[in-house]
Amino acid sequence: MVQALVLEKKGELALRDIDLPLEVGPDDVKIAIHTVGVCGSDVHYYTHGAIGSFVVREPMVLGHEAAGTVVAVGSQVKSLAVGDRVCMEPGVPNMNSRATKLGIYNVDPDVRFWATPPVHGVLTPEVVHPAAFTYKIPDNVSFAEGAMVEPFAVGLQAATRARITPGDVAVVIGCGPIGIMTALAALAGGCARVYISDLSAPKLAIAGQYPGIHPVNITQQPLAEVISRETDGWGADVIFEASGSPRAYDGLFDLMRPGGTLVLVGLPVERVNFDVPASIIKEARIETVFRYANNFDRAVNLIASGKVDLKPLISGTFDFAESIAAFDRAAKGLPDDVKLQIRLRD
């Protein structure tokens, strides 16, 4: 038995002992978990008991944004050694699947993703994971930053999908953690400037600390007006929808230049009104993002290089013993909180 933060059922968390498999297979490593980020999806399972068709039917360990230290390696593992500091990609596909062979392992129907029912997450002192989905972090990247690689990889997937040309102007709708990660990834990918919109002034102020990110408070001015003014009436090259709000789809194409790109990152909980004629008249290219593939190493590289600093986005750190308090705070959705983290050891 090991200790873990267990979601017993909707609305009920317990820090308790649970049986988790810890045998190290030939291609696996065992990791002593250091830091785990609290994700919106973890909180949603806590408060709602389900995300879409994924329903919590039995107790499940939460947490999927993690960094730690390798403490054991399988007999076939050559890429990692005991003592390596690492972060882990939480989704493990079937290595023989058609999607995996195509390099799009994130959309493999058989993918097993931490803290997505029925798969346990990693808010527990040790986990076993395939070495192929475990990435070294250099000494100048902290465990806290290592645990930010997972959400940042979503931003990089969005920037990759956008196929940014250097000097592009981008708009990010939604200033939550993923919106900010997307804006930072768009800048790292070559955008000259990024406008980020939201209703929440505190969230916008956090994003606005970064050079190149321009906050737009849509309670004060219509986003389309700002973008038109700032682009001499031409429109932005890339629009990232990162709010998941159905309202974001109203007038979406007014933001875009002719021949621009729309990248859908935010996952609406229901169907939305999508203006097909407006998209055709602009001959928009439309891309979608589901998690990430082949972006963890790139995320680590950008953080290690100093080009992307995610530290200002860490709003609070809790000890493992205070995990439930961390989730209760995250569930409040305080406007100043971007990312809360849980530390399992010093």
CB-nearer residue toward Zn ion: 178 or 284: 178
| Contacts to Zn ion from residues 50-89, by CB under 5 A | 65
Q: Does 158 bind Zn ion (CB under 5 A)?
A: no
Q: Does 171 bind Zn ion (CB under 5 A)?
A: no
Q: Does 206 bind Zn ion (CB under 5 A)?
A: no
CB-nearer residue toward Zn ion: 39 or 252: 39
DSSP assignment string, 175-221: -SHHHHHHHHHHHHTT-SEEEEEES-HHHHHHHHTSTTEEEEETTTS
β-bridge partners, 169:
193
**Residue 240 beta carbon to Zn ion: minimum distance, rounded to whole angstroms:** 17
CB-nearer residue toward Zn ion: 65 or 198: 65
CB-nearer residue toward Zn ion: 108 or 150: 150
**Residue 65 beta carbon to Zn ion: minimum distance, rounded to whole angstroms:** 5
Number of residues that bind Zn ion (CB under 5 A): 2
Q: What is the DSSP letter of 103?
A: T
CA-based nearest residue to 187, from 225, 214, 226: 214
| Contacts to Zn ion from residues 17-56, by CB under 5 A | 39
Q: Does 173 bind Zn ion (CB under 5 A)?
A: no
**Residue 115 beta carbon to Zn ion: minimum distance, rounded to whole angstroms:** 9
Task: Tell me how far apart the alpha carbons of residues 241 and 68 are, in angstroms, rounded to a whole number.
Answer: 32
| Contacts to Zn ion from residues 216-255, by CB under 5 A | none
Q: Does 181 bind Zn ion (CB under 5 A)?
A: no
Using a CB cutoff of 8 Å and minimum separation of 24, what contacts does 162-166 make? 162/186, 162/189, 162/238, 162/240, 162/261, 162/263, 162/287, 163/261, 164/189, 164/190, 164/191, 164/237, 164/238, 165/190, 165/237, 166/190, 166/192
Binding site for Zn ion (CB under 5 A): 39, 65
